[in-house]
């Protein structure tokens, strides 16, 4: 298990069992001490159980961002009830550390397996991570990100951004 995944697992377990937040991530590799957006996804027996993240960092480093978003994934994802203590042993974790996004001119510059996508219109933004099971095309990726942002389907005047991730499982 990658050290970052071990850290988010520990953070969720301590929070669910004791209500405490880890504040010291310990020694992690140099690439996790810089600031970055981070998404943490939890799965239970192969099914999504929570996924929360930040497009842009709100903490001082990627490891602290991962702790924050791991706890939020377990307790604040509005699609699910908070994770209970008896579920902890059944959870699998993945952590995506986002590389800086770059603006693209069209869907043809995307690749749903390689890049995540951000769709923006005014203050509305929707994000979809890359290589998501069941998402087979860039067009579908953009459509889902638009729905997440509350942007009407078929809206043509949107800004598209792509980004790569470092995925840890």
Positive or negative, the CA dihedral 79, 66, 166, 94 is negative
83, 49 in Cβ contact below 8 A? yes
CATH number at residue 111: 3.30.1490.150
Q: Is residue 41 part of a domain?
A: yes
Q: Is residue 169 part of a domain?
A: no
Task: Reduce the DSSP state of residue 23 to 3 states and report it.
Answer: coil
Query: Which positions ≥6 away from 90 have C-beta within 8 Å?
Result: 44, 45
CATH number at residue 24: 3.30.700.20
Rounded average pLDDT over 83-93: 98
> Which of 10, 103, 27 has its CA nearest to residue 61?
27
CA distances from 68 to 17, 24, 28, 133 (A): 16, 12, 16, 25
Among 98, 118, 153, which residue terminates a domain? Answer: 98
Model pTM score:
0.91
Residue 159 has pLDDT above 90, yes or no: yes
Number of separate domains in the chain: 2
Rounded average pLDDT over 134-150: 95
Q: What does the pLDDT look like over 28-75, one tens digit per residue?
A: 655 577 899 999 999 999 999 999 999 999 998 899 999 999 999 999
Same domain, 93 and 107: no
């Amino acid at each position: 298990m990658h050290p970052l995944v071990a850290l988010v697992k520990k953070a969720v377990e301590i929070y669910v069992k004791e209500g405490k937040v880890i504040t010291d991530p310990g020694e992690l590799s140099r690439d996790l001490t810089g600031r970055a957006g981070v998404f943490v996804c939890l799965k239970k027996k192969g099914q999504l159980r929570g996924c929360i993240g930040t497009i842009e960092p709100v903490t001082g480093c990627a490891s602290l961002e991962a702790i924050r978003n791991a706890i939020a994934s377990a307790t604040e994802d509005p699609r699910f009830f908070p994770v209970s203590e008896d579920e902890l042993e059944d959870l699998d974790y993945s952590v995506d550390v986002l590389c800086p996004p770059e603006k693209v001119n069209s869907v043809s510059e995307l690749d749903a397996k390689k890049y995540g996508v951000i769709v923006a219109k005014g203050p509305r933004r929707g994000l979809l991570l890359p290589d998501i099971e069941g998402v087979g095309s860039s067009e579908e990726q953009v459509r889902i990100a638009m729905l997440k942002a509350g942007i009407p389907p078929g809206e043509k005047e949107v800004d598209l951004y792509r980004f790569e991730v470092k995925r840890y499982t």
